[in-house]
Amino acid sequence: MTFPEFSALTVSESDDRLLVQLTRPEVRNAIDEQMVSELHTICSYLEHNPKILLITGCEAKGKGIFASGADIGQLRERRRDDALRGVNNTIFQRIAQLPSPVIAAVDGYALGGGLELALAADFRIATPDATFGQPEASLGIIAAAGGLWRLKELVGVAVAKEILLAGRLVSGREALDLHLVTELHSPADLLDAAQSLADRIAALDPLAVRLSKQVMAMPTAAHPAVDNIAQAILFESDAKFDRMQAFLDRKKK
């Protein structure tokens, strides 16, 4: 599929994945309504054609940039009804719920909505000099697009409060220690590392990965019944028989 109308994103596609690059370098990839609209188009496509999604940034003035946050010019003019629409909240939740895994490859700033976009991914990898933060309170608002709850699930309540309530900025190196990211790579190697991670995911059975992601997101009360239902589906799949037989055949050699 081609996306010729896009102006905020650059997209490339292969058989099992979609690479989306945020490309508004003139405003450090600030997330505006055009970018949100284009991300919705991406989600609509991936909901009907499940593939691994990789999200990365671009260079701005010779330095990497993931996303510096929401477009403050637009954000300043939003009112109560705009907040209730959940412009960024809705798209980030949609990204989080995509059928196949999402990888965020972060270099440079991932601030405000930029960090919340990364938090919506299943995997985050970064460069040592990446910078993560939620500066919303300094602008008189809250991190209402996932930061207030996704962040504490990853780094714990104490560190989340430092970031959300005291303006702490976290480097890539610190993010690795805090389990906010799982890998660090140089800027030159970051995209290759994201592709390698996608290769590892793609080597697994797509349906098993898809159901694992969905079941992991279920509330505690849904287990273990939902696990049994998902397993029952997989026990009848051709891939289960083929992959297990291949495993047994390898053991015989």
Which residues belong to the active site?
A: 116, 136
Specify the 3-state DSSP secondary structure of 131: strand
Residue with tokens 């898809």: 210
CA–chain centroid gap for 34, Å, is: 19
φ/ψ of 185, rounded to 5, equals -145, 160
What residues form DSSP beta bridges with 184?
A: 126
CA dist 124 and 93 (Å) reads: 16
Would you state the structure tokens that stand for residue 21, as one six-digit string?
A: 């690059």
Specify the 3-state DSSP secondary structure of 206: helix
CA dist 142 and 85 (Å) reads: 15
Residue with tokens 């303006």: 167
What residues form DSSP beta bridges with 31?
A: 70
Specify the 3-state DSSP secondary structure of 102: strand
Handedness of CA 78, 80, 81, 87 (dihedral sign): positive
CA dist 153 and 161 (Å) reads: 12
CA distances to 3, 69, 90, 111, 112 from 139, in Å:
34, 12, 21, 13, 11
